[in-house]
Amino acid sequence: MSRIGNLAVPTPSGATIQIEPGLVRAKGPKGELTSPIPEGIEAKLEDGSLTFTRAGDQYAANHGLARALAANAVQGVTTGFTKNLEIVGVGFRAAVAGNVAIFSLGYSHQIEVVMPAGVEIKIEQNTKIEISGSDKQQVGQVAALIRGLRKPDPYKQKGVRYAGEILRKKEGKTGSK
């Protein structure tokens, strides 16, 4: 019994959903996304909502997956997704030049990250980063890539972290007493 797969995906106003063989196509004000339909899963569009059914219990794992991917596509083309990051550290900063983000993170050189198509980046106060786009996976991947440039240090708490991320601070060496 798939709890996620049995839920209907509501179609918000301004979004259109088309079911094609093997995929669901969602169009909206933020663009167009497609979501695959695995074998053994059937999608139906009725009364303004998208529902998924499976052929048998051997397709149970893909039932919830297909529904979740379609729901993410519908949400992405209507409202979009955002990830917020913070840069903590003396002299650590970021800037944007076109579709390239430039980071100074304490290394001997600056790091440039080219944003893929469909992903926007905004930087406030040189330390607050907002990554937004319609594709949830792509937004999350870019955020993880930027965080990986300088992961938060457990001793001094410096680095790039997700907004609201709580870090456990380590004590360090105690020295001789």
pTM > 0.95: yes or no: no
At 173 the pLDDT is 83
- Give the list of residues 6+ apart from residue 157 with CB closer than 8 angstroms, or none: 88, 167, 169
For the chain, what is the mean pLDDT?
Answer: 91
The first and second tokens of residue 135, run together, are 């594709």
pLDDT digits (tens, 9 = 90+) for 25-71: 999 999 999 999 999 999 999 888 999 999 988 988 899 999 999 99
- Give the list of residues 6+ apart from residue 49 with CB closer than 8 angstroms, or none: 8, 9, 10, 11
Q: At residue 124, what is the residue type?
A: E
pLDDT digits (tens, 9 = 90+) for 83-100: 999 999 999 999 999 899
At 67 the pLDDT is 93
Which helix (H) or strand (E) element contains residue 161?
strand 159-162
pLDDT category of residue 23 using cuts at 50, 70 and 90: very high
- Rounded Cα distance between 6 and 62, Å, is 12
Question: Over 90: is that where the pLDDT of 158 sits?
Answer: yes
- Rounded Cα distance between 173 and 177, Å, is 12
pLDDT digits (tens, 9 = 90+) for 123-152: 999 999 999 999 999 999 999 999 999 999
Question: Over 80: is that where the pLDDT of 177 sits?
Answer: no
Question: Over 80: is that where the pLDDT of 1 sits?
Answer: no
pLDDT category of residue 2 using cuts at 50, 70 and 90: low
